[in-house]
Structure 1
Amino acid sequence: MSMLPNARDQPAEAAKPRLFDNADLDKMAMQFVGDMHRYRENVIIPRNMGPVKIKTNEEKLIETAVESCGFKCAMACVMGYGLGAALGLFSASVNPSMADPFANEKKQTAREVFREMRATTHSYAKNFALIGAVFSVVECTIESKRGVTDWKNGTYAGGITGGLIGLRAGIKAGVIGGLGFAAFSTAIDYYMHSR
């Protein structure tokens, strides 16, 4: 008697119905388990209102660049320069140093008035740009060290920035400047986040 399977047994085995082919099983496994590749495009970003939108790689790249410390510092510097220039121009136009018309002083010309306006405007703009840059760098550093984004970062940054600016006039001015700038930063942060 031979140990080989009987030819009559093979058709009976083949006649058993199979539910899934190997290819079908592979497809099901891929559907349920996954193919071990992670795609960042499949991450869903929750939103408060409106439909959920999946961000593209370009959007994520731009968002990362805009949230970087260097970009924040540059923007604070540019915006501070613009605000300072506007305030300096207003200050120079409200309080010009006009010559006394009854004294024997020479009259100011339009060129001298514009030169004085430009100097005042540039001085204000530089100071505001410096304040904006220092505040932004300090806030970004504090936020990086704490690992939390909340109102305390602006308050601490305001206190340090105001203290550094006021310190040029002495210790008492540094403390008062730090407290005042911290209170101002907290108020602005509360106003911006409450809306």
Structure 2
Amino acid sequence: MAAPSSLLTPGMGVASSPPGPSVSPVDGTLQYSLILEHLVGERRRPRDVIPGGLGGMPTPLKTEEHKMMERVMESCGFKAVLACVGGFVLGGAFGVFTAGIDTNVGFDPKDPNRTPTAKEVLKDMGQRGMSYAKNFAIVGAMFSCTECLVESYRGKSDWKNSVISGCITGGAIGFRAGVKAGAIGCGGFAAFSAVIDYYLR
């Protein structure tokens, strides 16, 4: 049995055979060393990159539903809702924690000598947790939506977006108490946003 003049390799079509027989002349089996050279050796050739793939790895193309979900998840509305839910959970946990370490939880100011019951303590903790949750949810939604709009308007993603959105959010919250409170809220929230963004980046 004569040795073939060419060696078929997956994804490369017909390639010229290396020196020496690629098939044993005795039993017709392929030689492992020659196959290994074409897989990991010097004779290895890069595979064609599949469209949509990464580094030549076969990756399916994105469907229209996939693209639509990406657009939804990158929208300002989705980010605001996500921040609102996250702020609600974080604020509720923070409110319950602060109520747990407060020694005045459940006490009646009209009768400070009376020991509160467990039901009254839990009720007070729940009210404080809900209050914190609402405030954190509002602030989180405002900040996230404002930052997304600022980023879309500027066309850049840097630390200035968080500072500007922090100033707008803090000013809007503090403006209810007056112009001075709004200015203080703008500056304080902008500085806080800058510090947080610096450490996160």
Aligned-residue RMSD, C-alpha: 2.6
Secondary structure of the residue aligned to 2:91 is helix
Number of residue pairs matched by the alignment: 147
Q: Aligned runs of 1:108-123 on 2, under 5 Å?
A: 108-123=116-131
Picking from 150, 156, 167, the partner of 1:159 is 167
User: For 1:67-109, what per-residue CA distance to the aligned partner results, in whole angstroms no more than 9, with x for missing partners?
Assistant: 1111101100001001101110111111142549xx7843311
CA distance, structure 2, for counterparts of residue 152 and residue 145 of structure 1: 12
Matched letter for residue 134 of structure 2: K
% identity of equivalent residues: 49
1:89 matches 2:96: yes
Picking from 150, 158, 162, the partner of 2:158 is 150
TM-aligned CA deviation for residue 59 of structure 1: 4.4
Structure 2: state its 5+ residue gaps: 1-49
Change (3 A) 1:55 1:64: farther
User: For 1:120-175, what per-residue CA distance to the aligned partner results, in whole angstroms no more than 9, with x for missing partners?
Assistant: 00000000000001111211221222222222111100000011111122222211
1:68 matches 2:51: no
2:62 maps to which residue? 56
CA distance, structure 1, for counterparts of residue 112 and residue 155 of structure 2: 65
TM-aligned CA deviation for residue 42 of structure 1: 3.4
Change (3 A) 1:175 1:60: same
Matched letter for residue 63 of structure 1: E
Secondary structure of the residue aligned to 2:157 is coil
Change (3 A) 1:42 1:61: farther
TM-score (norm 1): 0.66
CA distance, structure 1, for counterparts of residue 112 and residue 200 of structure 2: 54
Structure index of larger Rg: 1
TM-score (norm 2): 0.64
Structure 1: state its 5+ residue gaps: 1-40
Q: Spell out structure 1 runs of 4+ moving beyond 3 A.
A: 41-45, 50-55, 58-62, 103-106
1:42 matches 2:48: no
User: Which one has the bigger helix percentage?
Assistant: 1
Higher RCO, 1 vs 2 (CA within 8 Å, ≥6 residues apart): 1
